[in-house]
A and B are shown apart, each in its own frame.
Chain A
Amino acid sequence: MSVKEAEVLEHGTSLAHPAHEEILGEQFETLEQQNNAYLIGMWAFIVQEVLFLGAIFAAYGIYRLKYLHEFTLAHKELDWVVGGINTLVLLASSYTMARAVRAAMQNKHGRQILYLGFTLFFAGIFMFNKYIEYSKKYEHHLIPGWGYDAHAIVEHGEKKKILEPLPDGNYKIKLETEKTVTPEEFKQRTQLFLGFYFILTGLHGLHVLVGMIAIGVLMVRAYIDYKKRKPVADYMPVEMVGLYWHFVDIVWIFIYPLLYLIGR
């Protein structure tokens, strides 16, 4: 490349607009570069999240193949209505989050706080429902490693005529195919299902909780920006939390059918 081209290139790297200065990190040349870096960084973080949580889905799938009968019975203990309401709530929260990001991009602080508030509200409903679900599991002694007991699953299975106790004490499970298991095996494998349920929804819930904290911080930030009447606020934090929030939503989009629904 000639020096002339280099000159052109130099002028290509325009320095920050004065109004951008206080939100521009020292290591960046332009706000555009900074925003792009944060955007790609967030996506890279989501990539690692996909693999992090995806590996549990992969393990769950392998055991579901292996213990289809036991898993199908155990999954009927999950309340698909509450799960459905939670899906609804999370989808709605994703919508309000998208609107909050839009407001942030337009520098409309009031609207941004409003939509972040909606998102937080929906997230609260989600967590409340989770609490109801978890406490029900506790009542039925379905928490792995915590006085776990498969009696509730056996009873419900008998009622639905899927499970039949044999005279020798074993259980016969009747789905498309039949399978006979000992009570001990039945206990272990249904416990394994509930283990996956608690690991997946627990880690997901943890992500929701982190997201709620982040949204709270964003609301405070937006309020401060609003008070200061900042001409150009940095919308990237909102956009990044938005991406994170939508990703948490996507995780639930997979948890709901795979754990609550299939084989109903």
Chain B
Amino acid sequence: MAEHTAHHTEGHEHHVVPIRVYTWTLIGLLILLIVTVAAGFIPMPVWLGTVVALAIAAFKTSLVMAFFMHVKFSGKLVWLFAAAGFFWLVIMIIFAYADYITRPWEPVPGF
């Protein structure tokens, strides 16, 4: 691509991405949208339905972040910040759910 006005830096490079990258990203997202709607109507156990829906959403998110938000073309620091929020949210959910999921295992409720 001729329009590579790139100066490499730690955080970010001024990177003009070819249009086709965006177009393919959009096409990918639309396909995944159809998949996630279809998955909603396929009869399956509740937990599996949730896992599938979350997996597709996570995949869509990674597409948006990698290409639309240029994480793929940016430095490590951007990558780190992009991951930190979601990582920390997952930590919060795991530790909070650790309580809710193990409550029924107790010998007496509220043991």
- A interface list, Cβ under 8 A from B: 32, 35-36, 39-40, 43-44, 46-51, 54-55, 57-58, 61-62, 65-66, 68, 80, 84, 87-88, 91-92, 94-95, 97-99, 102, 105-106, 175-176, 242-243, 246-247, 249-250, 253-254, 256-258, 260-264
Q: B106 near A: Cβ within 8 Å?
A: no
Given contacts A36-B11, A43-B81, contact A99 B61 (CB under 8 A): no
- B37: contacting residue among A43, A54, A80, A176, CB under 8 A: A80
Measured between beta carbons, the chain B residues less than 8 angstroms from A106 are 3, 16
Measured between beta carbons, the chain A residues less than 8 angstroms from B74 are 39
How many B residues have CB within 8 A of the partner chain? 53
In whole angstroms, how far apart are the Cα atoms of A26 and B53 in the complex? 47
- B interface list, Cβ under 8 A from A: 3, 5, 7, 9-12, 14, 16-17, 19, 22-23, 25-26, 29-30, 33, 36-37, 39-41, 45-46, 49-50, 53-54, 56-57, 60-61, 64-65, 67-69, 74, 77-78, 81-82, 84-86, 88-89, 92-93, 96-97, 100
Secondary structure type dominating chain A contacts:
helix
A106 to chain B, nearest CB (A): 6
Contact at A40–B81, with CB atoms within 8 Å? yes
